[in-house]
Amino acid sequence: MSNFRKFKEAPVQLPHDLMGPPQEPPKRSQYRGRRNVQIPKLQTVKAAIISQLPFQDKITTLPAQQEARSSSVPSNVKLQSILQQQPKTPSKTGAYILQYHQSELSQHEKEEILQFSKIYYWGQKAQKPYNVQATNYGYDDQRGDYLGVIKDHVSYRYELISILGQGSFGKVFKAYDHATSTQVALKIVRNKKRFHRQGIVEVRLLETLRKNDSDGQSNSVIMTSSFYFRQHLIMVFEQLSINLYELLLKFDLRGLNTRLVRKFAVQTLNCLNYSFNLKIIHADIKPENILIVAPDSSKCKIIDWGSGAFVNQTIYTYIQSRFYRAPEVILGLPYSIEIDIWSLGCVFCELLNGTPIFAGENETDQLGKICEVLGMPPQDMILKSPRKGEFFNAGKLRSGHRPSNNLKQRVKDQGLFSIVEKMLVWDPSKRAKPFEVMQSPWIQEGIRELEMRIQKELGKGAPVQEQVEDKPIQQVIMDDGIGFKVVMKQGVVELPKIGM
């Protein structure tokens, strides 16, 4: 489970007329921190048509006033624009660089460079204070993290621009790919055996998702390649924007418009249905791991499969961030793919309300807060739990929390409640599957809105602004141009055909 330290970016300032009347932001809790299966493709509104429409999804946001809990892959639009205008760098040979640019190489690089057939960039702009006598020629710190000097190269192709975040697994850098003239995100795994092993699992999960999603519509982050460099496993990802927790911060943790919540709900459910069909467990679904594709888009993707596993394969006993941890995990019971549905249900509530529905300070408190909303767990779950003595005494909670059934009071929107009540269920065997949730009228209405917007775009050739009635404080201006396909019932559910 990845716990990032996020590096701040400049806040986005909006005109005051979009911000609504001033309100006192809610207080933030001090403890908030924290194979191959072929899937049928959408047969009606083809992704190829969707991708060519001139969608301009707009998100008008408030300034972020707090530091996010985890890393994401933010997008610097201005820098990206400048870099994309640069011509592609022609490759050179290592022998050429040695002959004409030897002074720009470290002693170790003078030998290393000959192992690479194509050289696009060799860190000629970087200061390289590496010590060849130190661990891994001075490229690593004592933890096995790659030090990574800004403007230096990775694999004689990628130029390190900035560090986006770091966690127990390693670091994520924003980088420029000189071979393709694009910005990417590089995940550099720590040079330790156990992180290598889990990194290899993550690569296999991402490759499985990619192979079964040929047109890139699964709403999962795309890993374009992976390789080893200087004893580190490195994954190359598409560049994305802010995560949904950062988006909530921009609204001062007041919550998002219900229509925007539904846009994110349809897409994340779509992603989980892919992983569900492929027997893949994500195991760390939370707002920080759902990223918006671009600052002006409502399309989102799930990232960070580093805690994941294939069903029935070894997985850690300590998984999921606490606020989103499924009860079977807390109770020490066997678990599977259903834990992701629980986590996503928690995320939906948080997107609407702005704060977590279950914000426990520890696992005992976490279980107590769940009981306060959903009542006591089934008796058979308590009896089977190897940890029942920690949480219960004579059938009552040790924590002192008072069990109650008040989920409806916590989720005021009736449409969202209609799906969350199927997701936040104690017994994982009775918890709704992704494709079952997507059959709800509330989600179906969102799908119909998408199809109607596509028809308008096809007919008028220009994006149409959307009016948002809910919660005027948020003033979210969006379009419905989200390019994804909807997968249900282990197959697909067709959107209404154009013209009907």
CA distances from 324 to 278, 300, 327, 414 (A): 22, 19, 9, 22
| Burial class for 192, CB neighbours closer than 10 Å (0-12, 13-18, 19+) | middle
Alpha helices per DSSP H over 176-229: 193-211
What's the CA gap between 428 and 223, in Å, rounded?
A: 30
Among residues 57, 140, 284, 413, which one is catalytic? 284
What pLDDT, on a 0 to 100 scale, did the predictor assign at position 106?
A: 92
**Ordered per-residue pLDDT tens for the chain, 500 residues:** 444 434 333 333 333 332 333 344 444 443 344 434 343 333 333 333 233 323 333 333 333 333 334 333 333 434 444 444 556 778 899 999 999 999 999 999 999 999 999 999 999 989 887 777 788 889 999 999 999 999 999 999 999 999 998 988 999 999 999 999 999 999 999 999 999 999 999 999 999 999 999 888 899 999 999 999 999 999 999 999 999 999 999 999 999 999 999 999 999 999 999 999 999 999 999 999 999 999 888 999 999 999 999 998 867 778 999 999 999 999 999 999 999 999 999 999 999 999 999 999 999 999 999 999 999 999 999 999 999 999 999 888 998 889 998 999 999 999 999 999 999 999 999 999 999 999 999 999 988 887 787 677 677 554 434 433 333 322 332 333 333 333 333 444 333 332 22
Torsion, CA 226, CA 227, CA 228, CA 234, rounded to 10: -30
User: Angle at which helices 258-277 and 338-353 pack, to 10 degrees?
Assistant: 170
Largest CA distance in the chain: 79
241-439, what's its fold?
Transferase(Phosphotransferase); domain 1 (1.10.510)
Question: Over the Cα atoms of the chain, what is R_g?
Answer: 24
What pLDDT, on a 0 to 100 scale, did the predictor assign at position 449?
A: 83
> Residue 98: which H helix or E strand, with range?
helix 94-100
Q: Are the C-beta atoms of residues 290 and 268 closer than 8 Å to each other?
A: yes
pTM assigned to the model: 0.76
Please give the CATH number for the structural domain made up of 83-238. 1.10.510.10
| Among 346, 333, 335, residue whose Cα is nearest residue 288 | 346
What pLDDT, on a 0 to 100 scale, did the predictor assign at position 38?
A: 41
Q: Following DSSP, what letter does each residue of 396-442 receive, concatenated?
A: EETT-----B-HHHH---HHHHHHHHHHS-SSGGGSPPHHHHTTSHH
What pLDDT, on a 0 to 100 scale, did the predictor assign at position 129?
A: 76
Is residue 284 part of the annotated active site? The answer reads: yes
Strands 396-397 and 487-488: unpaired
What pLDDT, on a 0 to 100 scale, did the predictor assign at position 209?
A: 96
Residue 331's CB: how many other CB atoms inside 10 A? 22
Q: Which residues are annotated as a binding site?
A: 187
Torsion, CA 278, CA 74, CA 176, CA 192, rounded to 10: -60
The domain ranges of the chain are: 83-238, 241-439
What's the CA gap between 371 and 368, in Å, rounded?
A: 5
Q: Which residues are annotated as a binding site for ATP?
A: 187
What pLDDT, on a 0 to 100 scale, did the predictor assign at position 229?
A: 98
What pLDDT, on a 0 to 100 scale, did the predictor assign at position 296?
A: 85
| Among 446, 450, 441, 433, residue whose Cα is nearest residue 489 | 433
What's the CA gap between 456 and 465, in Å, rounded?
A: 11
What's the CA gap between 307 and 317, in Å, rounded?
A: 11
The answer to whether the 83-238 and 241-439 domains have the same CATH topology is yes
